[in-house]
Structure 1
Amino acid sequence: MRSSLRYSAFLLMTSLLGLGCGGAPQQEPQQPAEQAVPELVEVEQGAVGDTLLRCEQPQDGTYLEVVQTATGYEAAHVSEEYDPWDCRCTYTKRTVLGQYTRCYKSTVDPRIMNCFRIEPNGTTGKVVLSTTRVTRTQMVIGGTQTVSYDELSIAAINQDPGQTVRQDFNYSLSDCQ
Structure 2
Amino acid sequence: MHIPCRLSALILLSTSLLGLGCEVAPRQDPLLATEVVPELAEVKQGAVGDTLLRCEQPQDGSYLEVVQTATGYEAAHVSEDYDPWDCRCTYEKRVVLGQYTQCRKSTVDPRILNCYRVEPGGTTGKVVLSTTRVVKTQMVIGSSQTVSYSELSIAAINQDPGQTPRKDFNYGLSDCQ
1:94 Cα deviation (Å)?
A: 0.3
CA distance in 2, matches of 1:105, 1:132: 11
Note the 1:38-53 alignment, pairs <5 A.
41-53=41-53
Q: Which residue of 2 aligns with 1:83?
A: 83
Task: Give unpaired runs (5+ residues) of structure 1.
Answer: 1-38
Which secondary structure does the structure 1 equivalent of 2:122 belong to?
coil
1:40 Cα deviation (Å)?
A: 7.6
CA distance in 2, matches of 1:99, 1:41: 20
- Structure showing greater radius of gyration is 1
Normalising by the residue count of structure 1, what TM-score does the alignment of the two structures yield?
A: 0.77
Q: Which residue of 2 aligns with 1:158?
A: 158
| Stretches (4+) displaced over 3 A | none
Normalising by the residue count of structure 2, what TM-score does the alignment of the two structures yield?
A: 0.77
Note the 1:26-65 alignment, pairs <5 A.
41-65=41-65
CA distance in 2, matches of 1:69, 1:148: 37
CA distance in 2, matches of 1:125, 1:173: 26
For these two proteins, the number of residue pairs brought into alignment is: 140
Say which structure is richer in strand.
1
AA matched with 1:164: T
Percentage identity across paired residues of the two chains = 86
1:84 Cα deviation (Å)?
A: 1.2
Q: Which residue of 1 aligns with 2:133?
A: 133
Task: Give unpaired runs (5+ residues) of structure 2.
Answer: 1-38
Q: Deviations over 1:106-135 (max 9, x none)?
A: 000000010000011111140000000000
AA matched with 2:135: T
AA matched with 2:139: M
Q: Which residue of 2 aligns with 1:144?
A: 144
CA distance in 2, matches of 1:94, 1:77: 6
Note the 1:17-28 alignment, pairs <5 A.
none
Note the 1:103-142 alignment, pairs <5 A.
103-142=103-142
1:44 Cα deviation (Å)?
A: 0.4
